[in-house]
């Protein structure tokens, strides 16, 4: 039986990846930070099936201990300060967790000395102000946020350790992906939660920032599958994972409000300066031809279907 260690287990992707690996017969270890109140909203259903271990990406010794406790064949490094907007408020902490955290895990694995396959959660934020549209594995990077810069450091460290120490390290450069388990601070979930509240009569508007930026949005359960696929290859390589289609925030609002029978949302959305960013990425769009050809991976869930599932889930949660 293979053993996998997932950092960021309680996050959106961590919980979906654990679901997937359990169906494949893995023994799954999930790393979480110690805190006075555990946030297991996404992972409550995994208690008893996943072994939760305490560790922090800002603490080298804790990572060494976690590796000893889990003795993994595969490590998926999904832990991060992952909210782009917050990275301008806490650039140093973001660099520490999101950038240095990856280096600490690589060092811990190197010292551990056994053959461990390593997955790094890289991001389309590294393409930032895209110099080529759609972006592929050879497109130059141009990050536009402290988060994007921290992720780029982690990305290059992953590659550098692969080349320096012959480690099986891969980076998945994933474009935006969402699900019913998305954190409430991200625009998609903020919208579906807001739409549900308006539909049920709890609120009368949603406050948002830039409505014109465009993102290439996929569905998280589809995307975690390619993380696993990348570690099953003979040779460690990096892959771009995307749908190839971009939608604006306005498009997202159209579909989300439409799910509750509202065609014109203009009276329900207020633009608020507080949610504007110091530097914005106007558009992100990816070309995942390489993943299709080598991993036989393609996105299965359509944009409309994903938005509709998120709205339904939020209406259900608020109606309970």
Residues that bind ligand NAP (CB under 6 A): 7-8, 10-14, 32-33, 39, 56-58, 78-82, 97, 121, 123, 174, 176-177, 183
Binding-site partner at residue 39 among ligand NAP, ligand G4F, none, CB < 5 to 8 Å by type? ligand NAP
Q: How far is the CB of 99 from ligand NAP (least distance, A)?
A: 11
Is 147 assigned a catalytic role? yes
**Any contact of residue 86 with ligand G4F (CB under 6 A)?**
no
Q: How far is the CB of 115 from ligand G4F (least distance, A)?
A: 29
Binding-site partner at residue 168 among ligand G4F, ligand NAP, none, CB < 5 to 8 Å by type? none
**Any contact of residue 19 with ligand G4F (CB under 6 A)?**
no
Binding-site partner at residue 121 among ligand G4F, ligand NAP, none, CB < 5 to 8 Å by type? ligand NAP
Binding-site partner at residue 84 among ligand NAP, ligand G4F, none, CB < 5 to 8 Å by type? ligand G4F
CA dist., res. 307 & res. 313, Å (int): 10
Is 123 assigned a catalytic role? yes
Q: Which of 27, 74, 125, 180 is catalytic?
A: 125
Q: How far is the CB of 60 from ligand NAP (least distance, A)?
A: 12
Q: Which of 123, 139, 188, 243 is catalytic?
A: 123
Is 301 assigned a catalytic role? no
Which of 15, 62, 120, 123 is close enough to bind ligand G4F by CB under 6 A?
123
CA dist., res. 157 & res. 102, Å (int): 8
**Any contact of residue 268 with ligand G4F (CB under 6 A)?**
no
CA dist., res. 257 & res. 307, Å (int): 10
CA dist., res. 290 & res. 311, Å (int): 32
**Positions 28 through 57 that interact with ligand G4F (CB under 6 A):** none
Residues in contact with 28: Cβ distance below 8 Å, sequence separation at least 6, in sequence order: 3, 4, 6, 18, 21, 22, 46, 49, 50, 51
């Amino acid at each position: 039986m293979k053993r996998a260690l997932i950092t960021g287990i309680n996050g959106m992707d961590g919980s979906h990846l654990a679901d997937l690996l359990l169906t494949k017969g893995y023994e799954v270890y999930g790393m979480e930070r110690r805190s006075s109140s555990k946030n297991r909203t996404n992972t409550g259903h995994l208690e008893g099936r996943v072994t939760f271990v305490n560790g922090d990406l800002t603490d080298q010794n804790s990572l060494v201990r976690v590796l000893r406790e889990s003795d993994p064949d595969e490590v998926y490094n999904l832990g991060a300060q992952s909210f782009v907007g917050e990275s301008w408020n806490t650039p140093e902490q973001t660099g520490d967790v999101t950038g240095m955290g990856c280096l600490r895990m690589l060092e811990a694995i190197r010292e551990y000395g056994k053959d461990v396959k390593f997955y790094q959660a890289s991001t389309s934020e590294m393409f930032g102000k895209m110099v080529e549209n759609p972006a592929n594995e050879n497109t130059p990077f141009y990050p536009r946020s402290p988060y994007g810069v921290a992720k780029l450091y982690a990305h290059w460290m992953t590659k550098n350790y692969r080349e320096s120490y012959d480690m099986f390290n891969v980076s998945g450069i994933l474009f935006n992906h969402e699900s019913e388990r998305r954190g409430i601070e991200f625009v998609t979930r903020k919208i579906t939660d807001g739409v549900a509240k308006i539909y049920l009569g709890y609120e009368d508007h949603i406050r948002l920032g830039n409505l014109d930026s465009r993102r290439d949005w996929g569905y998280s359960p589809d995307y975690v599958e390619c993380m696993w696929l990348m570690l099953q290859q003979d040779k460690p390589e990096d892959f771009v994972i995307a749908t190839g289609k971009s939608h604006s925030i306005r498009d997202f609002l159209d579909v989300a409000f439409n799910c509750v029978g509202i065609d014109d949302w203009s009276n329900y959305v207020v633009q608020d300066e507080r949610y504007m960013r110091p530097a914005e990425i106007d558009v992100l769009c990816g070309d995942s031809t390489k993943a299709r050809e080598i991993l036989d991976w393609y996105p299965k869930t359509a944009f409309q279907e994903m938005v509709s599932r998120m709205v339904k889930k939020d209406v259900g949660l608020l109606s309970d």
